[in-house]
Amino acid sequence: MEKGLTNATKALLTGCSAGGLATMLHCDDFSARFPREVSVKCLADAGFFLDVMDISGERSFRSYYDGLLHLQNVQKVLPKDCLAKKDPTECFLSVELIKSINTPMFILNSGYDSWQIRNVLVPDPSDPDKSWLSCKDDMSNCNSTQVEVFDGFMDTMVDALKVVEDKEDWGLFIDSCFTHCQSIFGLSWNSAISPRLGNKTIAEVVGDWYHGRSQGVKEIDCEYPCNPTCNSLLPT
């Protein structure tokens, strides 16, 4: 604030991946630092982490969430209404965090998030015979059964986001591209090969939401491989 943020008329808190999750955690606290007349919004990119079972039937990533929670003493910033009913690790998950955020938020995520597919859905220990190795490296190598598993991952994400459908000041851009973190790369954000939904790039959709050019900016893609704007050159 001492560097000039106290004079802001608009402020945007954003981050990608772990920074996207941190954006959700601290969004309301960030907003509370400004006078009411300041327009404060948050953009979480690739931070909507799911607590799903991996392909071996184990919820193997839960231990990482639990470890982070205790290592960084995250519990003190978790939503109190959630903590009153649920385990702290559960309240640390994106699906619970979004229920308590009051500040306008934009969630940018791939429904086929490449990092989560490789580390949450198909971590190395879940695939000892490495039959998924080429698939999780490049989705074009996947067979129909493997794609169906990934479709289920996107369905879970879209279902989890239904709680924000009626929040008019929230925005969504959930594409079906095999990628992770799309706001920090110009190629993904706003270029000739950027993913498009509603014939608009991510930058254009976020811009419509941020500047209030349209209400209820919520774009959700169809299942892979329906979107021709998903380019193999996108960062994974």
Dump pLDDT digits (tens) for 95-113: 999 999 999 999 999 999 9
**70 in active site:** no
Radius of gyration, alpha carbons of the chain: 18
Query: Is residue 180 annotated as a catalytic residue, yes or no?
Result: yes
Of residues 51, 175, 176, 180, which has the active-site annotation?
180
143 residue type, one letter: N
Residue 107 phi, psi (nearest 5): -105, 115
What digits encode the pLDDT tens for the residues 40-90?
999 999 999 999 999 999 998 999 899 999 999 999 999 999 999 999 999
113 is catalytic: yes
pLDDT of amino acid 228: 96
Q: In the prediction, which pLDDT does 232 show?
A: 87
pLDDT tens digits for 155-189? 999 999 999 988 999 999 999 999 999 999 999 99
Residue closest to 82 by CA, chosen among 68, 64, 94: 94
pLDDT digits (tens, 9 = 90+) for 15-26: 999 999 999 999
Q: Give the residue from 83, 92, 104 showing the smallest Cα distance to 64.
A: 92
Per-residue model confidence (pLDDT) at position 57: 96
Q: Looking at 113, 175, 183, 194, which residue is catalytic? A: 113
DSSP structure class, residue 40: E
User: Whole-model pTM above 0.85?
Assistant: yes
Confidence of residue 236 (pLDDT cuts 50, 70, 90): confident
Reported as a pLDDT band with limits 50, 70 and 90, residue 216 is confident
Q: Minimal CA–CA distance to 99: which of 115, 114, 112, 86? A: 86
> Which segment of 5-14, 51-60, 213-222 scores lowest on mean pLDDT?
213-222
Reported as a pLDDT band with limits 50, 70 and 90, residue 126 is very high
Nearest to 74 by CA among 17, 28, 21: 21
